[in-house]
Chains A and B, each alone.
Chain A
Amino acid sequence: MSDFAGLRLALSSLMAQRRGVETAAQNVANANTPGYSRQRVDLQSQGAPAVPALWSVFKGSSAGVRVAALERFRNQFLEIQAGLEHGSMAQLAQGASTMRNLEGIFPEPSDAGIARRLTDFWTAFDDVANHPDDTAARTQLLERASTLTASINAASDDLTRARYDTITELQSTVTEINALASSIASLNRAIKSNQIAGISANELMDQRDLLVTQLAEASGGAVRSGEYGQVNVVISGTAIVSGEEVRSLMVDSAGPVALRWVADSSLAAVTSGKVAGQLEAVNATIPGYVAQLDAMATALRDDVNSLHGSVGGSLAVASQNQGAAGNLEFELALDGGAYATVTVAGADWSGPGGAAALGAALQAAVDAAIGAGNATVGASGGNGAALAVSLAPTATHTVLVRASGTNAGFATLLGTTAVGSDGVGGRAFFSGSGAGDLEVASGVAGTPAAIAAGVASAGPLDGSRALDIADLAGSTGGADALYRQMIVQLGVGTQTAATREEIQQRAVESLDNARQAESGVSLDEEMTNLVQFQHAYDAAARFLAAIDEMLDTLINRTAV
C-alpha cells in the first residue's frame, strides 16, 4: 500500500461528505418546489477489487468512499395511481362545477324563479275569470304571460350558452393537452440522453412527472413506465405520449362533441380527466336539462292551448234533429285570413250513424270554405246520447271561428268553443316549439280582447274557461309539476356531484400525502443530514491532518 493512499482515502471522504452536504442543500433549496423529489447521495465504500489480479496481491485495507449514485425518491407505483386519481378528480370537479353552473340558472326556491312566474300567470287567469269585462285584468294576464315566456326563454338561452362555453373550454383543454404531451416527449428525450451518458436526470424527471400529472388530470390518460426512465401516457389503448413520440388530439363538434386523434381522425374514447367531464356536460348533462325545460315549456303550451284554443261543442239529444232548421252556419278563418262562411244543411242527426253523417257533412262544408286538408272535423256520440263535435287545424295551420247567421243550432254545436271577448274562438295562447322560442301567440299578444275567458254558448261575461285554465296550476303532469321535478333533479344532481367530488378529493389528498411522504423534503431530516455530513467532513479533515502529521514525522523527523 502506498504511503500516500491515506491522503487519497481522506480526499475521497472529503469529496463524498461535501457531496452529501450539497445534496442536503439542494433538498432544502427545493423544499417548496412543486414536483421536486428529495435526493440522497448513495455512498459506497471502496474496497478490494471485485476480481483479484493474477500476478499481484491486493494488500491494502480500503480505498475510501465514492458517490455511487444520486438517488431520487419517487415511487413509480404511487405516480401511476396518482395519475388515475387526479384524472378522476378532474372529471368529478368538472361535473360538480357544471352542476353548480346550471343550478345558478334556476334561482329556486325564491321569488325570482320561474315557479313564481308560473303562479303569477295562473292567478292572472283567476282575475280574468273574476272580471271578464275588465281590460286591466286581461292586460295584466298578457304582461304576466310574456314575463313568464321571457324567463323560460332566458333559462333556455343560459343553458345553451353554458353548453357553448363548455365546448370552448374543452377546446382550450385539448390545446393544453397537446402542449403538455409535446413537453413531456421532449423531456423524455433529454432524460434518455442523460441516462445513456450517465448524468443525473433527477431534476428533469421531476419536471416531467409534474407535467405527466397535469396531463393525466386533463386527459385522464394512464401513466406507463418506459425505457431509460421515460414514461408513456395512454388514453384508452392509444398512446398520446410514447417515449419521444406524440399523438395530438382535436375536438370534433359536428354532431355529438367528441375527441379525435389528429393523425387518423379515429375516435379517442376518453373516460376520465377534465375532458371527460367536459364531454359529459356538453353531450349529456346540459342537453338533459334543456330537454326537461323544453318538456315543461311544451306542456305549458299544450295544456293552455287545448283549453284556450279548443273549437267544438255538443248537441243534446233534444236538439239533434235539425231537419227543419234550414242551413246552419258559422265562419272560419284560416291562418289569420278573411272569414269564410261554413254552411251545412240541417238534417236529423239523432239516429244511429248521426255522428258520422254530421261529421261528414261538416267536413265537406269546412273543406269547401277554407280548402281541403287544412282542418279536421271530429264527431262522436249521438244515437240517444249527446253528440260531440270538434274542429282542429292540421299541423302548421291555425283556424279562427266565430258565430254567424241567426241559426241557434250551430251556436249550440260550437257552444264549448273558447271565445275571446271579441267573439272569435280557436286561438292558440302560446306558440313556439320549445323553451327557447316559447312566446305568447301572435294572435293574442297585445290584444286583450283575444283572451278566451269563456265559451261561446255562455254569454259575453262568462269566465268559466279562464277558471279552467287557472286550475291547470295544480295539474299533476303540468308545467309546474314538471318544473319542480326538474329543480329537484338539479338539486339532487348538484348535491351528488359535490359529494362525489369531496370523496375523490379525500382520496387524492391521501394519495398526495403518500407521495409527499415519499418524495417531499423534510427540513428536520435535511438538517440532520447536514450535521451528519458536516461532522463526517470534519472527521475526514482531521484524518487528513493526522496523515499529514504522520508524513511529517516520517519525512522530517526520521533519520535526520
Chain B
Amino acid sequence: MTSNMRVPHQMLATNAVANLRSSFARVVDLQDQAASGKRLRKASDAPSDVATAMQLRSRLDRNDQYSRNLDDATGWLSSADTALSGAIDQLHRVHDLALMARNGSVDTSARQAIASEIDALRQSLLGLANSQFAGRALFAGSASGGVAYQSDGTYVGLSTPIERSIAPGQRVQVNLDGDTVFGAPGNDIFTTLASLSAAIASGPGDLEALGATLEAQTRQVESSQGVVGARLKRVEDQKAQNTSDELTMRENLTNIEDVDLAQVLVNLQAQQLAYQAALSATAKAIQPSLADFLR
C-alpha cells in the first residue's frame, strides 16, 4: 500500500475484519490443537507425516498381533518343553530298569515286575506324547482329533509345520512332529518299549541291542528338547524386541501425531495476545472520522 493511496473508511473496515478473522482462525486452530493434543487431525495437516503416522499405526496394530502370536508360541513351546522333560525323566528310569534287568541275578518275578513298570512308563510316555495345548495335541501337527498317538502307540499325527508370525516376514515353527521326536512309525520309542518289556518278561533276550536303540531314541528326544529350547529362546528374544519396537514406534507416533503441548500453549498465548491487540487497535482506528471533530 503506497503512502499516498486513498484509504476509504469501508476499506479500513473490510481489512480490519479480514485481519481479525485470520487472527481468530489461528487462535481457534491452536486451541483445537491444545484441546485434542493432536497435531495431525486431517490428512492435509502434514501429508508426508500423515503417511508415516498411518504406517506406524498399522505397524503398531500388527505388532500387537505379533505379541499375541508370540504368547501363543510361548504356550506351545513351553508346553512341549515340559512334556519333553517329563518324557526324558521317564526314559532315564526305563534306562535304569533295562540295566537292572540285564543283571543275571534278577529272577523271573523281579523281571516281571520290571516289565510291568516299563509298561506303565510306556503308558505314561504315551500320555506325555499326547500332551495338549489349548485343546490341540502338541505332537500331532495339523491333524485333528486331539491326540498324536492312539493308545496302542500308533501315530495319527501329520507332519505339517505349525507356524506363528512373530515379526514382519518372520515365522517360527511352534510344534514338533511326533515322529521327529519319538521316532518314525514302526521304529518309534513306543515300539521299542513294548519290545523291551516283552523281552524282559520272557527272559534275557537281546536286551543289549534294544538298549542301544532306546539310547539313540532317548538322545533324539533330548535333542528335540534342545530344539524346543532354542525356539523358545528365539521367541523370548523376539518378545523383548517386540516390546522395545512398540515403545520406539509409540514414541515416533507421539512425536509425529501429537503436539508439543508447551509449545502450543505458548503459541496460543501469543496468538491470543496478538488477537486482543488487533481488536483494540481496530476499535481505536475505526471509531474516529473528521465528523467527530467538526462543530
Contact = CB atoms under 8 A, between A and B. Distances in A.
Question: Which of A31, A129, A461, A470 has the largest count of B CB atoms less than 10 A from its CB?
Answer: A461
A513 B57 contact: no
B35 interface: no
B280 interface: no
Contact of A491 (B10, B43, B143): B43
B169 interface: yes
Interface stretch (B134-142, B191-199, B235-243, B261-269): B134-142
Contact of A459 (B158, B163, B169, B289): B158
A517 interface: yes
A520 B6 contact: yes
Contacts of A193: none
B245 to A, nearest CB: 14
A521 B9 contact: yes
B44 A31 contact: no
Given A109-B57, A467-B165, A491-B43, A531 B143 contact: no
B49 to A, nearest CB: 9
Contacts of B61: 116, 119-120, 123
Interface in A465-516: 467, 470-471, 473-474, 480, 484, 487-495, 498, 509, 512-513, 516
Contact of B134 (A131, A459, A491): A131
A459 B160 contact: yes
Interface in A446-464: 454, 458-464
Contacts of B141: 459, 461
Interface string B55-81: 101100110110011001000000000
A56 interface: no
A464 B169 CA distance: 14
A473 B58 contact: yes
A31 B14 CA distance: 13
A520 B142 contact: no
B50 A108 contact: yes
Interface string B4-27: 011111110011001000000000
A185 interface: no
B43 A103 contact: yes
B165 A491 contact: no
> Which size class do B's interface residues fall under?
35 or more
A516 B142 contact: no
Question: Which of A106, A492, A524 has the largest count of B CB atoms less than 10 A from its CB?
Answer: A524
A474 B66 CA distance: 13
Contacts of A484: 51, 54-55
Contacts of A487: 43, 50-51, 54
Given A103-B42, A116-B57, A484-B54, A527 B291 contact: yes
A489 B50 CA distance: 11
B294 interface: yes
A108 B57 CA distance: 11
Nearest to A494: B44
Contacts of A133: 135-136, 144
Contact of B6 (A126, A463, A517): A517
B184 interface: no
B142 to A, nearest CB: 3
B171 interface: yes
Interface in B106-162: 134-136, 141-144, 158, 160-162
Contacts of B55: 484
Given A116-B61, A460-B142, A517-B5, A109 B11 contact: no
Given A460-B143, A474-B169, A518 B6 contact: yes
Contacts of A527: 289-291, 294
B246 to A, nearest CB: 15
B104 interface: no
A501 B43 CA distance: 18
Question: Which of B48, B65, B69, B289 has the largest count of A CB atoms less than 10 A from its CB?
Answer: B65
Contact of B58 (A119, A126, A454, A523): A119
A115 interface: yes
A464 B54 contact: no
A168 interface: no
> Which size class do A's interface residues fall under?
35 or more
B209 interface: no
B102 interface: no
B43 A461 contact: no
Contact of A130 (B50, B51, B69, B161): B69
Contacts of A524: 289-290
A522 B6 contact: yes
Question: Which of B9, B18, B46, B62 has the largest count of A CB atoms less than 10 A from its CB?
Answer: B9
A527 B9 CA distance: 12
Nearest to B44: A494
B11 A491 contact: no
B5 A523 contact: no
Given A108-B50, A473-B58, A520-B9, A509 B142 contact: no
A118 interface: yes
A464 B142 CA distance: 10
Contacts of B171: 467
A470 B9 CA distance: 67
B97 to A, nearest CB: 36
Contacts of A122: 62
A480 B290 contact: no
B290 A528 contact: yes
A531 B9 contact: no
A119 B1 CA distance: 55
A356 B45 CA distance: 58
Given A454-B142, A524-B290, A516 B65 contact: no
Contacts of B294: 527, 531
A558 interface: no
Given A133-B136, A473-B58, A522-B9, A126 B69 contact: yes
A108 B49 CA distance: 11
A32 interface: yes
B47 interface: yes
Interface in B151-194: 158, 160-165, 168-169, 171
Contacts of B11: 513, 516-517, 520
Nearest to A455: B160
A495 B291 contact: no
Contacts of A470: 65, 165
A66 B228 CA distance: 113
A516 B43 contact: no
A427 to B, nearest CB: 20
A442 B163 CA distance: 30
Given A459-B142, A491-B44, A522-B6, A130 B72 contact: yes
Contact of B142 (A106, A123, A458, A493): A458
26 contacts: A103-B43, A106-B43, A107-B42, A120-B61, A123-B62, A123-B64, A129-B164, A133-B136, A458-B158, A459-B141, A460-B142, A462-B142, A467-B165, A467-B171, A470-B165, A488-B50, A489-B47, A490-B43, A495-B44, A495-B47, A498-B44, A517-B6, A520-B6, A520-B9, A520-B10, A521-B9
Closest 7 CB pairs of A and B: A520-B8, A491-B43, A491-B47, A459-B142, A494-B44, A527-B290, A459-B158
Given A459-B143, A489-B47, A491-B50, 9 more contacts: A31-B8, A116-B57, A133-B135, A133-B144, A494-B43, A498-B44, A509-B15, A520-B9, A520-B11
Interface of B: 1, 5-11, 14-15, 18, 40, 42-48, 50-51, 53-55, 57-58, 61-62, 64-65, 68-69, 72, 134-136, 141-144, 158, 160-165, 168-169, 171, 257, 289-291, 294
